[in-house]
Amino acid sequence: MTRLRPLPMESTFKDPHMLVTQQGRLVPDLARFIITSNSMKTDSQFEEAVRDHLFEESEGKGLDLGALNVQRGRDHGLPSYNAWRKWCGLPVATSFPDLQDISDNHKKILAELYSDVEDIDVYAGGIAEIPPDGASVGALFSCIIGQQFNDLKDGDRYWYENRGVEGFSSAQLQEIRKVKLAKIMCENLDVDPIQRDVFHVPSPSNPWETCSSLPGINFSAWRRRGRGKGKP
C-alpha cells in the first residue's frame, strides 16, 4: 500500500524532495505510482498549455509550462512545426485549415495564437496533433521520438546488440533479452508484486505477478571456459 498522499504538481515540479528525504524510502512508492497511472492524453495537454498557467502555485504565482517549452525551443533554435513535418516526410500545411492530424478546434486556437502557419512552434503543433488509436502522441512526435531512439542505438558503439570484440555472445544476448524492466525494478525497488509490462498499467491482460516469477539472467553464459584453475 502506498504511503504517499496525493500532491498537486506545483508542489513537486522540479523538486526532488520525494527522492532524497527519508533516505529514499519514498522512491518505491513513487515508482509504483508511475507504473500504475495512465499519462494525460495529448489533447488535454494542449488545452492546458494554452491557458494562462498550466498550474497555480500557492503563493499565487503561476508557471506556464507550455510557454516555457515553447521558449526553450526558440532558445535552442528549433525549426518550426512545418519544417519538422517536412523533415519527417509528413504533409505540410500552407494555411491553418490545411493543417493535417489536428482537430478543427485546435486549428482555430493555433490561428488565434499565430499570424502565419509557418510560425507555429514545434511543441505547440506537436501536442495539438490527434494521436492514433493506442498512441500517446501524434504523427510528428512519433517520428521525432522514434528517430531519436534509433539514433541513440545506431550511434552507440557499445549498444549491447552490436557484434564485435566488445559485444555479447548469442547465449548472453538471449539471457539479456529475457529480462524486462519489471524484473530490474523488482531487484532494485520494493515493488513486489508488479505487472510484467510496466509500460502499461495493470489489467486482466497485464496482471500482477510476484517478482520471483519473472525471468532473470543466468550468468553461467558469462563463465569463461578452458581456463586453468585459479585463473579468471
Residues 6+ apart with CB under 8 A from 186: 192, 194, 211, 214
Supply the range of the domain harboring residue 110.
38-154
Same domain, 104 and 190: no
Q: What is the mean pLDDT of residues 34-47?
A: 69
Beta-carbon count within 10 A of 98 CB? 12
Average pLDDT in the chain: 84
Q: How far apart are CA 165 and CA 174, in angstroms?
A: 18
Q: How far apart are CA 109 and CA 102, in angstroms?
A: 11
Same domain, 46 and 149: yes
Identify whether 102 is part of a domain. yes
Which band of pLDDT confidence, cut at 50, 70 and 90, is reported for residue 51?
A: very low
Residues 6+ apart with CB under 8 A from 52: 62, 64
Instruction: Please give the pLDDT value at position 226.
Output: 57
Residues 6+ apart with CB under 8 A from 200: 206
Who wins on pLDDT, 114 or 2?
A: 114
Q: What is the mean pLDDT of residues 4-32?
A: 75
* Structural domain ending residue among the three candidates 129, 154, 179: 154
Same domain, 43 and 102: yes
Instruction: Please give the pLDDT value at position 4.
Output: 55
pTM: 0.73
Which band of pLDDT confidence, cut at 50, 70 and 90, is reported for residue 68?
A: confident
Which band of pLDDT confidence, cut at 50, 70 and 90, is reported for residue 54?
A: very low
Identify whether 1 is part of a domain. no
Long-range contacts of 69-75 (CB under 8 A, 24+ apart): 69/123, 70/121, 70/123, 70/124, 73/121, 73/122, 73/123, 74/121
Query: Cell match 519473472: residue?
Result: 214
Same domain, 146 and 51: yes
Identify whether 23 is part of a domain. no
Instruction: Please give the pLDDT value at position 30.
Output: 83
Residues β-bridged to residue 63: 55
Identify whether 24 is part of a domain. no
Same domain, 175 and 206: yes
CA geometry: angle 149, 154, 160, nearest 5 deg: 95
Who wins on pLDDT, 140 or 24?
A: 140
Who wins on pLDDT, 133 or 165?
A: 133
Helix (H) or strand (E) run with residue 46 in it: helix 42-49
Which grid cell sits at 43?
489533447
Provide, rounded to the nearest whole percent, the portion of the chain with pLDDT above 70.
81
Q: What is the pLDDT of residues 89-131, one digit of tens each?
A: 999 999 999 999 999 999 999 999 999 999 999 999 999 999 9
Identify whether 139 is part of a domain. yes
Who wins on pLDDT, 22 or 83?
A: 83
Look at the chain and report how many structural domains it folds into: 2
Same domain, 100 and 204: no
Q: What is the pLDDT of residues 178-217, one digit of tens each?
A: 999 999 999 998 889 999 999 999 999 999 999 999 999 9
